Amino acid sequence: MSIQLALFARIEAKPGKEAEVEALLKAALSMANDEPTTPIWFALKLSPSTFGVFDAFHDEAGRQRHLSGPIAQALMAQGPELFAQPPSIEPIEVLGLKNRA
């Protein structure tokens, strides 16, 4: 089964909370590794205060499981303290993929 769907979340840290947002995203890697329906997951630093999460899925069921899973719960729980605004989450359709680590 190929990777068909993805999500991109853009996160803007509150001033002075950048290091905490970075630490939260780095810690989320262990949760992503425990999600069998999330085969691809990236935490990204786009600028000193802007971060992102890109993850990809085989199907809509996997994407929905991720959206209600522990990473989303952690982001929403700590968001009011750490984020300048709620994360912008965009559903994406994957048109092509090269994965060679």
Domain positions in the chain are: 5-93
Ramachandran sector of residue 16 (left: φ over 0; alpha: ψ -120 to 50; beta: rest)? left
10 Å CB burial of residue 91 (0-12, 13-18, 19+) is: exposed
* pLDDT value of residue 101: 67
Residue 1 pLDDT greater than 70, yes or no: no
Per-residue pLDDT tens for 24-44? 999 999 999 999 999 999 999
**pLDDT confidence bin for 45, thresholds 50/70/90:** very high
SS3 (DSSP) at 31: helix
DSSP state of 83: B
* pLDDT value of residue 56: 96
Question: What is the value of pTM for the model shown?
Answer: 0.91
Residue 59 pLDDT greater than 60, yes or no: yes
In CATH, the number for domain 5-93 is: 3.30.70.100
Q: Report the DSSP pairing between strands 88-93 and 5-12.
A: antiparallel
